[in-house]
Amino acid sequence: MFVDLAKITIKAGDGGDGAVAFHREKYVAAGGPDGGDGGKGGDVIFVADDGLSTLIDFRYKRKYVAGRGENGRGNSCFGKKGKDLFIKVPRGTIVKDSKTGSIMADISSNKKFVIARGGRGGWGNKHFATPTRQVPRFAKPGVLGEEFEVVLELKLLADVGLVGFPNVGKSTLISVISSAKPKIANYHFTTLSPVLGVVKVDSGKSFVVADIPGLIEGASAGAGLGHGFLRHVDRCRLIVHIVDVSGSEGRDPKNDIDIINKELARFNASLSKRRQIVVANKCDISTKDQIEDFKRYVQKCGFSFCEISAATGSGVEFLVNVISKNLDELPPIKEYVPNYLPENKNLERKFSIQVKNGVYYVDAPWLENVLRGVNFEDHESLQYLHRVICNSGINAELERMGICQGDSVNLQGFEFEFIH
């Protein structure tokens, strides 16, 4: 089963928590704080795997989580870094943010792409020791790892895209010029998924051809096999448009050119500007007048023209050489430039306050990580929390809203009395 679109959730590892510990050693009086830092969380890394050709594995597993960093320990021992998670995808897969549709990475090279970064490890209590606070009984928790819902979209890496109506001979042609063995039969939609073939040229060069199935009138709007497979034409440097010049299917070959090109343009306007070779197939069952009339129309449209018979092999070698020469003049296969912008860090300390039944509910998701590290039985730790609340503007907003001494405040699920 060919699957070229999937949606998954990826979660980098959380950082390990810093430790609260104090030095204990014989003959060492009043050992100071020595809690170690937590380890960094593991990253989620995408890599290309040429052994994969479909995204079907992501239909059955939808969530991927990297390893959490270990907590710090006493004696200034740092926690171990969380294990990175490597996700293998077919070469040519694009990773997009599902919320914005922005491109996060194009997995087309051998480079490793870090999509979600693990959280930093929290500081141990040794970092909070000062001349006036010699026994800190609190530490920082680890930072949460990044989490994204992403869309994986496979766009095949091919130099040449074979397009055209069903039954015009695309599968026959790719089977003749390469070692690909697609199913060939005399009915529409024989080819149910794109087929790739490597074509070798006499000069020792080679190029990759993709047979793009399912193109009919209305394909860009979802007719036939739908517009899904049109995405695989996006990367193609050259379009080879196969047309049944004999009209054996009862269609007008001139009209076929117009219809398919309109569908390509509707799907992506840039495809209408892509270099294109129109190939008149089934010349063995066509008249000379049919071929010449069609050739004049193609040249009038501004396209290159070749005539072949994929079934008999006539003109196929010439076509391969023409394609090879055209590819020599064209730029490399398109790679997509990431345009994803991380959320503005200045927005992290946003908050909102609502009053319900006399209780002031503070919604500030960024505070959750702070609260995780607060020791509510330690005065110094509570002072640290108070400073964070004051510096963020929450305290000032509560006073502006008219809060009074003793009123209840609910801070991300923790409820306490307000004290000026």
pLDDT digits (tens, 9 = 90+) for 125-184: 888 888 777 788 888 888 889 999 999 999 888 899 999 888 888 888 999 998 867 555
Task: Calculate helix-pair angle for 288-301, 253-267, nearest 10 degrees.
Answer: 30
pLDDT digits (tens, 9 = 90+) for 273-315: 899 999 999 999 999 999 999 999 999 999 999 999 999 999 9
Residue located via tokens 């919320």: 99
Contact between 20 and 72 (Cβ < 8 Å): no
Contact 116, 147 (CB under 8 A): yes
CATH topology of domain 1-154: Spo0b-associated Gtp-binding Protein; Chain: A, (2.70.210)
Residue 287, burial from CB neighbour count under 10 angstroms (0-12, 13-18, 19+): exposed
Residue 301 has a pLDDT of 92
HEC string of the chain equals CCCCEEEEEEECCCCCCCCCCECCECCECCCCECCCCCCCCCCEEEEECCCCCCCHHHHCCCEEECCCCCCCECCCECCCCCCCEEEEECCCEEEEECCCCCEEEEECCCCCEEEECCCCCCCCHHHHCCCCCCCCCCCCCCCCCCEEEEEEEECCCCCEEEECCCCCCHHHHHHHHCCCCCCCCCCCCCCCCCEEEEEECCCCCEEEEEECCCCCCCHHHCCCCCCHHHHHHCCCCEEEEEEECCCCCCCCHHHHHHHHHHHHHHHCHHHHHCCEEEEEECHHHCCHHHHHHHHHHHHHHCCEEEECECCCCECHHHHHHHHHHHHHCCCCCCCCCCCCCCCCHHHCCCCEEEEECCEEEEECCCHHHHHHCCCCCCHHHHHHHHHHHHHHCHHHHHHHCCCCCCCEEEECCEEEECCC
* pLDDT tier at 346, thresholds 50, 70, 90: very low
At the top level of CATH, which class does the domain 347-417 belong to?
alpha beta
Of 198-212, 362-376, 403-417, where does mean pLDDT reach its minimum? Answer: 362-376
Which percentage of the chain shows pLDDT scores above 70? 91
CB neighbours of residue 211 within 10 Å = 29
Tracing tokens 């694009």 back to the chain, one arrives at 94
Locate tokens 């609190």: which residue?
A: 138
Q: Which of 145-149, 187-191, 231-235 has the highest mean pLDDT?
A: 145-149
Greatest mean pLDDT range, 77-81, 341-345, 405-409: 77-81
pTM of structure: 0.75
Half-sphere exposure (Cβ direction) of 72: Cα atoms closer than 13 Å: 32
Mean pLDDT check: name the lowest of 1-5, 58-62, 65-69. 1-5
Q: Domains of the chain: which residue ranges?
A: 1-154, 160-328, 347-417
The first and second tokens of residue 328, run together, are 């020599």
Q: How many CB atoms lie within 10 A of CB 133?
A: 14
At 372, list the tokens. Answer: 């995780």
- CATH class assigned to 160-328: alpha beta
Provide the token pair at 111. Answer: 């480079």
How far is 339 from 337, CA to CA, in rounded Å? 6
